[in-house]
């Protein structure tokens, strides 16, 4: 699966999932500072299959009929690698499934 890690996700997460999926960061793509709608449009154009983010508001701000892409929202109190790392097994398990368009909350 071709995944994009949002700007708010620590880069270290990439090494935890890169053995299982093709993973890019927004910085690697040169998409820093893009607004969510523009970012989702770019993702669709480049055939990304899912976005991993910690932005809990994205699910309420975007029309996923217009942007039919799964968004995995990591639900943690803080957005640090140490707080996100325990979610990796659940994230990897979800990525094996047929994800719906729009937000899927990933939490402990």
pLDDT tens digits for range 7-35: 999 999 999 998 889 999 999 999 999 98
Number of domains composing the chain: 1
Q: Is the pLDDT higher at 96 or at 20? A: 96
Confidence of residue 60 (pLDDT cuts 50, 70, 90): low
Cα distances (Å, whole numbers) of residue 60 to 29, 44, 69, 77, 98: 25, 19, 14, 19, 22
For the chain, the average pLDDT equals 91
**Residue 85's pLDDT is what?**
96
- Strand pairing of 102-106 and 70-74? parallel
Output the domain CATH number for residue 59: 3.40.50
pTM across the whole model: 0.92
Residue 33 structural domain: 2-106
Q: Please, which residues have CB within 8 angstroms of residue 104's CB and are 6 or more apart in sequence?
A: 70, 71, 72, 73, 94
């Amino acid at each position: 699966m071709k995944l994009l890690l949002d700007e708010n996700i620590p880069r270290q997460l990439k090494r935890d999932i890169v053995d299982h999926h093709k993973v890019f960061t927004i910085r690697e793509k040169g998409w820093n500072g893009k607004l969510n709608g523009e970012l989702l449009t770019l993702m669709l154009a480049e055939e990304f299959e899912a976005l991993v983010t910690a932005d809990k508001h994205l699910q309420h701000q975007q029309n996923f009929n217009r942007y039919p892409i799964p968004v995995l929202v990591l639900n943690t109190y803080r957005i640090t690698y140490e707080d996100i790392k325990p979610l990796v097994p659940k994230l990897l398990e979800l990525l094996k499934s047929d994800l719906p368009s729009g937000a899927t909350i990933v939490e402990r």
